[in-house]
Structure 1
Amino acid sequence: MDSRNFAAIFLAAACMAFGSAQALDITGAGATFPYPIYAKWAQAYRAKTGIGLNYQSIGSGGGIKQ
């Protein structure tokens, strides 16, 4: 088996073994002003994708620090 075939087989096996991981939640923090609309968007996004959005309204300064 030449090195190109071995590399292709190894890469295919690695992709199948590790696959792609799907995030279950996306987390962010920032300004309090947009929180109400972000909360509505988060509900709709979870309903459509099954992925949660967790936004903490801690103020824009706190969001920048994080």
Structure 2
Amino acid sequence: MAKANVKDLLEAGVHFGHMTRKWNPNMAPYIFMEKNGIHIVDLHKTAVKLGEACNALEKITSA
């Protein structure tokens, strides 16, 4: 399976988060910045966690 990189995530618009007034404080480590009342998600952290999720799924399905 092809690994997603930051450029692919950016082109897909993954970085657009949610309105700043509707958020879970547990997401604070993954928020890059706020712009015009919208949280922008950190794509570097997203790519790492997406890779971890893919690895976990591959491990589960190979068993």
TM-score (norm 2): 0.26
TM-score (norm 1): 0.25
Q: Which has the larger radius of gyration?
A: 1
